[in-house]
Amino acid sequence: MTEDNILTPEGKNKLEEELNYLKNTKRKDITERIETAKEHGDLSENAEYHEAREDQSFTEGRIKEIEHILKNATVVMADKSGHVQVGSKVSVEMEGNQFEFSIVGSHEGDPSQGMLSCDSPIGEALLGKKAGDQVEIKTPKGLVSYTIKKVQ
C-alpha cells in the first residue's frame, strides 16, 4: 500500500534541499564526530560518542522519511479556478481581522509562517471554497467563522 503525499512545488524543493544537506553535509559531520569520539577511548562511557550515534540515528531516520515522502509525492499547483486548493493563497477575515494563508500539503504545514496544511481543520474547511464564502470551524474555544476575501 502506498501513501500519497501532496506537496506544492516549493515544498518539494525544500524537502529535496534538506535531503541533499542531510546526505552530503550532515552525514560527513556526524562521521567525523564519531571518529573523534572513538579516539577518546572507552566507548561505553563516552558521552560524545553516544550523542553522535543518536544524531546519526535521527539523521538516517529523517533521510528515510524524506525519501519516502518524495517517492510517493504528488506535486500540485493551484489552478485559476478561484476555488481554494493546495497551492492557493487565501485572504480571510475573522472578527474584523485580516489573515493570509497558503494552503500546502500535510508535510509542509507551518502555521507560524501562514502555511496551513490541507489536512488541518482550517485547511480542510477552506478547501473547495471561493471568495465570498463563509466557513465555520469548530475549535477548542468554540465555533470560529471565516469569510474568504480572496483566493489566488
122-146: pLDDT as tens digits: 999 999 999 999 999 988 888 999 9
69 and 114 both lie in a single domain: no
Percent residues over pLDDT 70 in the chain: 97
Work out the pLDDT band at 100, boundaries 50, 70, 90: very high
61 and 102 both lie in a single domain: no
Work out the pLDDT band at 4, boundaries 50, 70, 90: low
Residue-range definition of the domain harbouring residue 67: 5-75
Give tens-digit pLDDT for 80-91.
889 999 999 999
Mean pLDDT value of segment 51-69: 97
A 10 A CB-CB count for 9 gives 11
Residue 82 lies in a domain: no
Buried b (16+ CB within 10 A) or exposed e, 67-89: eebbeebebbebeeeebbbbbbe
| Residue at which a domain ends, from 51, 75, 99 | 75
Please tell me the predicted confidence (pLDDT) of residue 1: 29
pTM: 0.78
The count of structural domains within the chain is: 2
